[in-house]
Amino acid sequence: MAKPLSLGEFYPDSGLAPALGRRILLNRQAKGTHMEIAKVGIVGAGQMGNGIAHVFALAGYDVLLNDISQERLTQGIESIGGNLDRQVARHKITTAQKDSAMARIATTMVLKDLGKTDLVIEAATERETVKSAIFEDLVPHLMPHTILTSNTSSISITRLASRTDRPEKFMGFHFMNPVPIMQLVELIRGIATDEPTYKACLTVVERLGKTAASAEDFPGFIVNRILMPMINEAVYTLYEGIGSVKSIDESLKLGANHPMGPLELADFIGLDTCLAIMNVLHDGLADTKYRPCPLLTKYVEAGWLGRKSDRGFYDYRGEIPVPTR
């Protein structure tokens, strides 16, 4: 009986054998086992990252929180503790639940430590080069069954997945801010995402007590495809002198029953993040209606990024926020 050809013999000198072999191994393991997620790795300890760590730990998952800065890790843990204390004060959780959640969170500055987790959620800055570099550095250290996800607000999931060895086990896992309060999670499949990966992530969302919205992999997905052009239009309304910061925000709060005005919301999200998403929409959809307002660009260039920098469309350096225009 003839000996079967190996991948190396079938694709001589192509360099494809190792990658194809690993892909086949991943597929066989995925088909043969039920994905049980117990330990979660989170990249980025900022506002989104520590919020994600908060809800996962509270839901009973073991969490490993990673950042390149020890200071940000310390601040992230302090934020989680403070937010849990507020939930205790409002009788949303007990002190025992808070203590148990905090005990489930560990931190590390070493990215490869996340390789031993079942699910990785990247929550770094909204720049594709940064996100791609993180995944490329992480891939060699992952277990075969580990699912990779990104909390990106707008960047192509298919494109991010293509930089890894497991596009079938890659998804968009987009939480809303603030994570402990907002109930929606967008689940975005890339072109190669398989059904077991989607179902595993859907099960996680349900365990977190949140609601999943399934979105296609188009720029901005669902929420930001609708929300960001509204914010951008509000900035144009300010830019063109149609209304002041105060009048624009009051108009939407009192006239459309929005809980926050669009400019106040932009400051809360971060003007740099708003600009990054608008650029993704403009570049990805090639439609001038998504062109970022020059005033938004000017604010970001000035370092006026909103609440996180104490100045944006409002000045937050005093006791009461004051409009800057």
From 83, 122, 174, 232, active-site residue: 174
- Residue 174 among the catalytic residues: yes
Cα four-point dihedral sign 101, 103, 108, 112: negative
Cα 210 to Cα 64, 66, 176, 187, distances in angstroms: 21, 24, 11, 12
Yes or no: say if 26 and 36 are a contact pair by the CB < 8 Å rule. Answer: no
Task: Tell me whether residue 83 is one of the annotated catalytic residues.
Answer: no
Q: Give the active site residue among 132, 150, 153, 156.
A: 153
Choose, from 83, 132, 156, 224, the residue flagged as catalytic: 224
Catalytic residue among 122, 126, 186, 264: 186
Which residues are catalytically annotated? 153, 174, 186, 224
